[in-house]
Amino acid sequence: MKIIYMPAHGEHEKRRNSVEWRNRLFEGMLAAEKLDKMNRILYDILENDLLNQTGRYYGFLDLFHLTKDRYSWSLDGVHLKSVWYETAMSMFWETYCNSVLMDRF
């Protein structure tokens, strides 16, 4: 059993404290756009395994989409408040524990 854990979270340009990093482009995209693109590429690669109930992978935790619209969780556009870490770990352990239970049946 494997869980794909994508820890990258949504970044918010308007909340960035550093002007140097605000609206910086990564291969022609803002950070949030680039993270979304990378997550989608990875999901596309793993999609067949993820949808196969007898496949190698149990879950795909895409934390980017969890945080991309949660501006209130952002401290400075990059760093997040503790609620993000609590939610991320809760989702991880819930997925892991469910996968262990599923392996028993």
Domain locations along the chain: 2-104
Q: What pLDDT score does 78 carry?
A: 82
DSSP 52: -
How large is the average pLDDT for residues 59-88?
85
Pull the structure tokens for residue 99.
């996968």
Q: What pLDDT score does 83 carry?
A: 92
For residue range 34-72, list pLDDT tens digits in order.
988 988 898 898 888 888 877 777 777 778 888 888 888
Q: Highest mean pLDDT range out of 9-23, 57-71, 77-91?
A: 77-91
Please state whether 81 falls in left (phi above 0), alpha (psi between -120 and 50) or beta.
beta
Is the pTM of the predicted complex or chain greater than 0.75?
no
- Give the separation between CA 28 and CA 19, rounded to whole angstroms: 18
